[in-house]
Amino acid sequence: MTDGAAETRITDLLRSWREPVLDRWVELAFDAVGGRVTERELRTELSELYELVERAFGDDGAAMGELRATLAELSRGRARNGFSPSETAVGVFALKQALYERIRTTRDQRAYNDLIDFTSFVDELGLATFETYAATREQVIADQSEQLLELSTPVVKLWDGILGVPLVGTLDSARTQVVMETLLEALVDTGSRFAVIDITGVAAVDTEVAQHLMKTVMAARLMGTQCVISGIRPQIAQTIVTLGIEFGDIATKATLADALKYALDRSGVRVTGGPED
Amino acid sequence: MERVPILKIGDVLLVSIQVDLQDQTVLALQEDLADRIVRTGAHGVIIDITAVDIVDSFIGRTFATIASMSRLMDSETVVVGMRPAVAITLVELGLSLGGVRTALDLEEGMRLLGAGAPGARAPAADHS
Amino acid sequence: MTAPPGDEVPIASNDDVVRVRQLVRTAAAAAGLSLVDQTKLVTAASELARNTYAHGGGGTMRVERATGEEGRPGVRIVFADAGPGIADVEQALSEGWSSGTGLGLGLSGARRLSDEFDLRSEAGKGTTVTVAKWAR
């Protein structure tokens, strides 16, 4: 670590120059956020940070924890409101400049030297906002994909006692699992004996997804219901064969219409009057 | 140890499991059913597990044993009302209950055995 | 009747196997596991409790709240017995293997149903199995 004297001197300077340095910091940070936060809000946030920096740099352990938490909170808020990570970090880095400009006017050589320690301290804080920022964005993305997941797995009624699940897009393991559970619950809730899983709109199927589909069909069978998989496109059929996945005696049909007809036949409903009849 | 009661409706034996299944209870049920099938000459057995929240390998395997055993005595076994979570778990466990017929609910199970709802006439096997 | 999570309960009878299921169900629900995941964990616990009783000659179970990867909440369960131990762990874990009492899927099944599985066994000294499952 640094020698305690430097920390004491910088802490003293921060305390005695509180007003002018804070003013300058707010001014610089305000430029960085481009008017999307009012100067008043910014001043409130930064004076809180200023006080914590002052105490934390003076080796106050509790203040350090509080400083990190406050900074993380600030950074999270910025991330959610669509600020870029550099806008957030520059606001923190600006404290260095504010203090540096002030020290320069005094021409105090010792204070200059001490400033180096303080600079790396502030750099660390700035980098911490980057990390929080990234984590928050990831969370936002995760939340969105989960919402999308719920949206994109509708279970629809095709006929009395026949449900349909049209799957569209990319099937990953997590989504397939959600589909599986939603579908089986729906079979019980509606008292349906048949389900058609249509994968016409699915881009690709890997081993794990194919296995999830098979497990769905097997679980449905244990519940006394039957699943038919329709819309297996040539590429997907090829993948399934190449991967060596055994679809066994699972009913598969080329189109959703074929699958529906199969389920209708099986449930004793007769379709009449068709053009090919 | 609790014993699971066995009801008789027409020529179908109905078992509705409402208790936490202990191993001894499951084994006792297997014996009691064998006994009742012989005594009543029942042609079907329905095991309703709507209220059962877990089926592990022992319970699952006993159901399979009951099914094969009753088939030897010319009686068809249908397990009805398995919950989705239980079904998913059994598949993950690697138990497919081969040889056990299943149905969504009691009514469906009765229909499968050609018994229909109590009091109703059995439907014709073929529509044509 | 119910012990608070983290307590040890004995497994000395078939009734205790049922009690293990109930305790694990309560802990899994409290940890926020989905219904399917609760069912998987309770089923795994049921298999292991039966092994502890039938093969280990009885033992104990401890269930506790735990935190998995990325801070996901979950449940960890430890089964311990001082029985004969498992001579060939690899074989015991291979699918469908049975020790003669029709419990072939017990260990391998419990492993497939959990997110974390650890088995330690020493011939003549006993067996400890730890399983855990995390909320999705």
pLDDT per position as a tens digit, C76-127: 999 999 988 887 777 777 765 554 444 456 888 899 999 999 999 888 899 9
Please answer whether residues C134 and C115 qualify as being in contact, where contact means their C-beta atoms are separated by less than 8 angstroms: yes
In chain B, residues with a C-beta closer than 8 Å to the C-beta of A220 are 87
Q: Is the CATH number 1.10.490 carried by domain A4-145?
A: yes
Q: Would B30 be classed as within a structural domain?
A: yes
Query: Between B9 and C93, whose confidence is greater?
Result: B9
Assembly ipTM: 0.87
Q: Which of A166-180, B77-91, C66-80 has the lowest average pLDDT?
A: A166-180
Q: Is C1 on the interface with A (CB under 8 A)?
A: no
* Residue B117's pLDDT band (cuts 50, 70, 90): very low
CB-based contacts of C10: which residues, under 8 Å, 6+ apart? C16, C58, C59, C60
The number of helices, as runs of H, and strands, as runs of E, in chain B is 4, 5
Write the class of the CATH domain A156-266: alpha beta
Q: Would B23 be classed as within a structural domain?
A: yes
Compute the average pLDDT of residues B98-107. Answer: 92
| Chain B residues touching chain A at CB-CB below 8 Å | 78-80, 82-84, 86-88, 90-92, 96-97, 101-105, 108-109, 127
* Residue B126's pLDDT band (cuts 50, 70, 90): very low
How many angstroms separate the CA of residue C16 from the nearest CA in chain B?
Answer: 9
Residue C55 has pLDDT above 50, yes or no: yes
Nearest CB among A188, A222, A268 relative to B90 is that of A222
Please answer yes or no on whether A219 and B103 come within 8 Å at the CB atom: no
Please answer yes or no on whether C36 and B55 come within 8 Å at the CB atom: no
In chain C, residues with a C-beta closer than 8 Å to the C-beta of A181 are 34, 36
How many angstroms separate the CA of residue B112 from the nearest CA in chain C?
Answer: 28
Nearest CA in chain A to B127: A268
Q: Would B117 be classed as within a structural domain?
A: no
Please answer yes or no on whether B23 and C112 come within 8 Å at the CB atom: no
How many angstroms separate the CA of residue B9 from the nearest CA in chain A?
Answer: 21
Cα C112 to Cα A200, B89, B90, C36, C93, distances in angstroms: 31, 10, 11, 14, 10
Counting the structural domains of chain B, the total is: 1
Residue B36 has pLDDT above 80, yes or no: yes
Which amino acid is located at B16 in the chain?
A: S
Strand partners, B8: B13
Model pTM score: 0.71
- The CATH number that applies at residue B73 is 3.30.750.24
Query: Between C136 and A50, whose confidence is greater?
Result: A50
pLDDT at B119: 44
Domains defined along chain C, listed by start: 8-134 (3.30.565.10)
Q: Is A179 on the interface with B (CB under 8 A)?
A: no
Please answer yes or no on whether A174 and C136 come within 8 Å at the CB atom: yes
Residue B114 has pLDDT above 90, yes or no: no
Q: Is C70 on the interface with A (CB under 8 A)?
A: no
Compute the average pLDDT of residues B100-108. Answer: 94
* Structure tokens that stand for A67 in this block: 């400083």
CATH 1.10.490 residue ranges of chain A are 4-145
pLDDT at A273: 67
Q: Would B124 be classed as within a structural domain?
A: no
Chain A, chain C: beta-carbon pairs less than 8 Å apart: 3
CATH 3.30.750.24 residue ranges of chain A are 156-266
% of chain B with per-residue pLDDT over 70: 89
In angstroms, the first-to-last Cα distance of chain A is 89
When computed from its CA atoms, the radius of gyration of chain B, rounded to whole angstroms, is 14
Q: Give me the average pLDDT of each 10-residue run along chain A (277 residues).
A: 64 87 90 82 89 84 86 86 84 88 82 83 87 86 73 83 89 81 94 94 82 90 94 84 75 92 90 64
